[in-house]
């Protein structure tokens, strides 16, 4: 790691969350600080499970959190066809956001998600967040061309998934990883 | 449509970019995390690094299924693998190979001490899906490794003795495979240490320098009999500078160290070590390194493994007695008239010093001491490898290549020192001691002093 900060730790995450009661919306487990982290231009990955208990991994371009606590995950449809099909059939979803430079990672889970159209204001936000992710990768000494390719997308292929998370977990590597953040 | 197999996706399994891994529990709740390493095992299997007992691990044990995405670092093509969990291995070649690679990844990610391999989780690949993404064309390779290995094979088959064979092998790595810095080490089966017998691309040859079994990528490759490769060097796999102070231990004067410095690069970024096998025996290790990160990929590993395999076969096929097609004409350094050198021998470890400078120890030291004593007693200069083999006092290891390797080591050390002593071949199974200076022999028989 070339110019990264000290790695975040699960213990830091737990104590910070427990001392922070400022939620993005009433009844939401997402704190205002976490919402800002989720939208800061970092890695967004997701998973669903098929009816016959087969997980499917996917990756997204960006993630938005609105004032009601709804999370909009923006992803390339052609790269996630099977995953989107499972979402349309119902079933739980998991989304992990991770910051490459210090590995700070949070996983949110929701009992279901729905497909939504991309809004006009999504595209500049995707551009901002993917640029942030690209810069994170470059900051971690990854090849700049590879870093740009990692987040490349065509505007016409983006789709949104909307979900209301009911559980949040700390995913940062280290002792305590996987712990559920208290609500 | 052509079915994708792991064999053609190995580059995507180098761990250049983190992968995404999804699992689920029995209730169907998904879990998604980033993983550092998806390791190629064979055409149908991968192994993932188990580093923490977490939800991913619990899910795997419960439902034994996973989905993983990987990315080709050159074309940026992405793939999604559906996996069935088989087992977790906590030792052995696969584990050690992944441990070394993970140490490099951890170093690169600033996570040394956090990323620690607890096990290699082996999965059968159920399906591979090409994920539609924006890709770039495959660049034209600099060389065709298979062709160059074939040419190397042809060249190596012409070598007549061990020293020539190893020097030629490293020359082939340089000219044909573009590997500038390399070494060949042989394993001493008695001391379980590897000693450098040939090197290329360094300011000093380091011939005679030693690596313990299990130390660094070289020692682990020899111990596990598997290639070990690391793309981002980490202190965990560097060669320790702490070498037993055998001089003090055995009561020698201070400064009379018997350590020959290891010749490696000061700041290597990539290293690879491949065992040289002779049947089921580990004969030695072929080692290469580079200042570039991720210099050695799976294809380079294949190429080096093929060269090492050929070397192993050729070493086993070398005639037990050195064959020289014609005697060599040698030139000795001119010594001043009446000049003398004191040859000191320490029986405790058979180390030999020329005046106060360390030359060699172990079996090679014992051989030299035997030769110079014979010379001092009877002015004899011609010897046979057969008589050395039959001399039980030399405590030669069982197999033929061990004597050959010691003679190569001794010859190179003497040559490097530009001493007025040399050995050269003078016919089949015969060699000659060339002495250009008056010798004073001194045996130091003091009892070894244990260090405090």
**Cα dist. A55→B29, B64, B120, B204, B351 in Å?**
9, 10, 20, 55, 63
Q: What are the φ/ψ torsions at residue B46 (nearest 5 degrees)?
A: -125, 165
Nearest alpha-carbon partner for B90 in B59, B53, B54: B53
- CB contacts of B51 in chain A (<8 Å) are 173
Of B21, B28, B51, the CB nearest to A91: B28
Q: Residue A71 and residue B432: Cα distance in Å, rounded?
A: 83
Q: Which residues of chain B have pLDDT under 70?
A: 1-2, 105-114, 233-258, 320-337, 400-401, 446-452
Task: Determine whether the interchain pair B30/A152 forms a contact, defined as Cβ–Cβ distance below 8 Å.
Answer: no
Q: Please tell me the predicted confidence (pLDDT) of residue B109.
A: 64
Residue A37 distance to chain B (closest CA, Å): 17
User: What b-and-e string marks burial along B293-329, b requiring 16 or more CB atoms within 10 Å of the CB?
Assistant: bbbbbbebbbbbbbbbbbbbbbbeebeebbebeeeee
Measured between beta carbons, the chain A residues lying within 8 angstroms of B77 are none
Determine how β-strand A71-76 pairs with β-strand A62-65. antiparallel
CATH architecture, range A10-170: Roll (2.30)
Are the beta carbons of A143 and B73 separated by less than 8 Å? yes
Q: Choose, out of B14, B18, B21, B30, the residue to mutate when testing the contact with A (most A CBs < 10 Å).
A: B30
pLDDT at site A7 = 52
* Nearest-neighbour CA in chain A from B381: distance (Å): 60
Closest in B18, B30, B73 to A92, CB measured:
B30
The answer to whether A57 touches A81, Cβ cutoff 8 Å, is: no
Give B209 to chain A, closest Cα distance, Å. 33
Q: Choose from B110, B118, B126, B134 for mutation: most chain A CBs within 10 A.
A: B110
Could you tell me if A90 lies within 8 Å of chain B, comparing CB atoms?
Answer: no
Q: What are the φ and ψ backbone dihedral angles of B409, each rounded to 5 degrees?
A: -60, -45
* Cα–Cα distance measured from residue B220 to residue B198, given in angstroms and rounded to the nearest whole number: 19
| Alpha carbon of A52: minimum distance to chain B alpha carbons (Å) | 9
Return the pLDDT at A143.
Answer: 83
The pLDDT assigned to A100 comes to 87
Inter-chain CB proximity B26 and A109 less than 8 Å: no
Closest Cβ–Cβ partner in B34, B54, B132 for A78: B132
Nearest CA in chain A to B116: A174
CATH superfamily of B6-131: Electron Transport, Fmn-binding Protein; Chain A (2.30.110.10)
User: DSSP alpha helices (H): ranges in B267-417?
Assistant: 298-317, 362-378, 385-390, 400-416
Phi then psi for residue B223, to 5 deg, are -65, -40
On chain B, the residues whose CB falls within 8 A of the CB of A140 are 109
Supply the pLDDT for residue B234: 63
DSSP secondary structure of B238-277: SPPS----HHHHTTPPTT---PPPP---SS-SEEEEEEEE
Token digits for B451? 């260090």
A94·B34 Cβ contact <8 A: no
Query: What span, in angstroms and rounded, lies between the C-alpha atoms of A3 and B220?
Result: 31
Report the residue from A82, A93, A105 with minimal CB separation from B30.
A93
Number of inter-chain CB pairs under 8 A, A vs B: 127
Q: Do A47 and B17 touch (CB under 8 A)?
A: no
SS (H, E, C) A114-175: EEECCCCCHHHHHHHHHHHHHHHHHHCCCCHHHHHHHCCCCHHHEEEEEECCCEEEECCCCC
Question: What is the model's pLDDT at position B335?
Answer: 62
pLDDT at B277: 96
Mark which residues 35-54 of A lie under 8 Å from B by CB: 43, 45-49, 53-54
Q: Which residues of B touch A57 (CB under 8 A)?
A: 20-22, 32, 67-69, 80
Closest residue in A to B62 (Cα) is A53
Return the domain boundaries, chain B: 6-131, 145-317, 340-443
Neighbours of B147 (CB within 10 A): 10
Tokens linked to B26:
């029995």
- The ipTM assigned to this model is 0.93
User: Residue B252: what pLDDT?
Assistant: 40
**Which residues, other chains included, contact A109 with Cβ-Cβ below 8 Å and sequence gap of 6+?**
A92, A93, A94, A95, A165, A166, A167, A168, A169, B29, B30
How confident is the model over B188-214, as pLDDT tens digits?
Answer: 988 899 999 999 999 989 999 999 888
Of A55, A91, A171, the CB nearest to B23: A55
**Secondary structure element (H or E) that encloses residue B108, with its range:** helix B93-109
Chain B residues whose C-beta is within 8 A of a chain A C-beta are 16-18, 20-24, 26, 28-34, 51-52, 54-55, 63, 65-69, 71, 73, 76, 78, 80, 82, 108-111, 114-115, 129, 131-136
The class that CATH gives domain B145-317 is: alpha beta
A48, A49, A133: best mutation site toward chain B, by most B Cβ within 10 Å? A49
- pTM metric for this prediction: 0.81
Stretch 111-150 of chain A: residues touching chain B, C-beta under 8 Å: 140-143, 146, 149-150
* Domain boundaries of chain A, sorted by first residue: 10-170
Q: Are B32 and A150 within 8 A, CB to CB?
A: no
Chain A residue with the nearest C-alpha to that of B22: A57
Place of tokens 């299990």: B214
CB contact under 8 A, A47 and B69: no
Digits of tens for pLDDT over chain A (183 positions)?
333 344 578 888 888 888 888 899 988 999 999 999 999 999 999 999 999 999 999 999 999 999 999 999 999 999 999 999 999 999 999 999 999 888 899 999 999 999 999 999 999 999 999 999 999 988 887 888 888 988 999 999 999 999 999 999 999 887 788 889 865
Q: Does A174 touch chain B (CB under 8 A)?
A: yes
Contact A96 B34 (CB under 8 A): yes
């Amino acid at each position: 790691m070339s110019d990264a900060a000290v790695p975040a730790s699960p213990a830091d995450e737990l104590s910070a969350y427990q001392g922070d009661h400022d939620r993005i919306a009433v009844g939401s487990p997402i704190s205002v600080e976490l919402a800002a982290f989720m939208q800061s231009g970092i890695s967004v990955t997701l998973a669903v499970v098929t009816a016959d208990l087969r997980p499917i991994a996917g990756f997204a371009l960006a993630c938005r959190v609105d004032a009601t606590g709804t999370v909009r995950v923006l992803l390339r449809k052609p790269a996630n066809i099977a995953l989107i099909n499972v979402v349309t059939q119902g079933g739980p979803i998991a989304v992990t956001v991770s910051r490459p430079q210090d590995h700070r990672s949070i996983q949110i889970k929701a009992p279901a998600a729905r497909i939504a159209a991309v809004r006009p204001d999504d595209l500049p936000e995707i551009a901002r967040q993917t640029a942030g992710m690209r810069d994170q990768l470059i900051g971690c000494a990854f090849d700049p061309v590879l870093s740009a390719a990692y987040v490349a997308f065509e505007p016409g292929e983006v789709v949104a998934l909307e979900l209301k998370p009911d559980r949040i977990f700390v995913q940062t590597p280290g002792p305590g990883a996987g712990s559920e953040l208290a609500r | 449509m052509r079915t994708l197999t792991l064999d053609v996706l190995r580059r995507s399994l180098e761990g250049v970019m983190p992968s995404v891994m999804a699992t689920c529990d029995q209730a169907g709740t998904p879990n998604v995390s980033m993983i550092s390493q998806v390791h190629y095992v064979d055409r149908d299997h991968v192994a993932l690094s188990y580093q923490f007992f977490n939800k991913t691990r619990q899910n795997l044990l419960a439902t034994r299924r996973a989905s993983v995405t990987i990315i080709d670092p050159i074309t940026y093509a992405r793939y999604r693998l559906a996996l069935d969990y088989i087992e977790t291995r906590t030792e052995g070649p696969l584990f050690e190979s992944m441990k070394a690679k993970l140490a490099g990844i951890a170093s690169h990610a600033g996570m040394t001490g956090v990323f620690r391999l607890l096990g290699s989780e082996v999965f059968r690949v159920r399906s591979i899906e090409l994920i539609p993404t924006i890709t770039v064309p495959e660049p034209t390779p600099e060389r065709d490794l298979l062709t160059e290995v074939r040419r190397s094979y042809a060249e190596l088959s012409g070598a007549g003795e061990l020293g020539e064979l190893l020097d030629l092998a490293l020359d082939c790595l340089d000219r044909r495979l573009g590997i500038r810095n390399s070494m060949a080490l042989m394993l001493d089966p008695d001391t379980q240490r590897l000693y450098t017998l040939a090197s290329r691309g360094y300011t000093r040859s380091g011939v005679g320098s030693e690596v313990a079994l299990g130390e660094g990528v070289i020692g682990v490759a020899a111990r596990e009999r598997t290639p070990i490769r690391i793309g981002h060097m980490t202190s965990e796999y560097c060669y320790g500078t702490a070498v037993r102070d055998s001089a003090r231990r055995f009561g020698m004067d201070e400064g009379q160290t018997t350590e020959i410095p290891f010749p490696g690069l000061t700041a290597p970024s990539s290293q690879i070590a491949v065992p040289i096998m002779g049947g089921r025996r580990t004969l030695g290790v072929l080692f290469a390194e580079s200042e570039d990160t991720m210099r050695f990929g799976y294809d380079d590993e294949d190429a080096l493994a093929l060269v090492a395999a050929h070397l192993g076969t050729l070493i086993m096929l070398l005639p037990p007695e050195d064959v020289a097609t014609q005697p060599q004409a040698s030139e000795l350094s001119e010594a001043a008239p009446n000049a003398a050198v004191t040859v000191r021998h320490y029986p405790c470890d058979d180390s030999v010093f020329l005046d106060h400078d360390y030359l060699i120890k172990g079996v090679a030291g014992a051989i030299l001491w035997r030769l110079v004593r014979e010379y001092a007693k009877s002015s004899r200069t011609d010897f046979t490898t057969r008589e050395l083999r039959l001399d039980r006092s030399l405590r030669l290891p069982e197999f033929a290549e061990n004597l050959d390797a010691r003679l190569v080591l001794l010859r190179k050390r003497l040559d490097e020192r530009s001493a007025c002593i040399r050995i050269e071949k003078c016919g089949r199974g015969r060699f000659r001691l060339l002495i250009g200076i008056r010798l004073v022999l001194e045996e130091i028989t003091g009892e070894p002093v244990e260090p405090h």
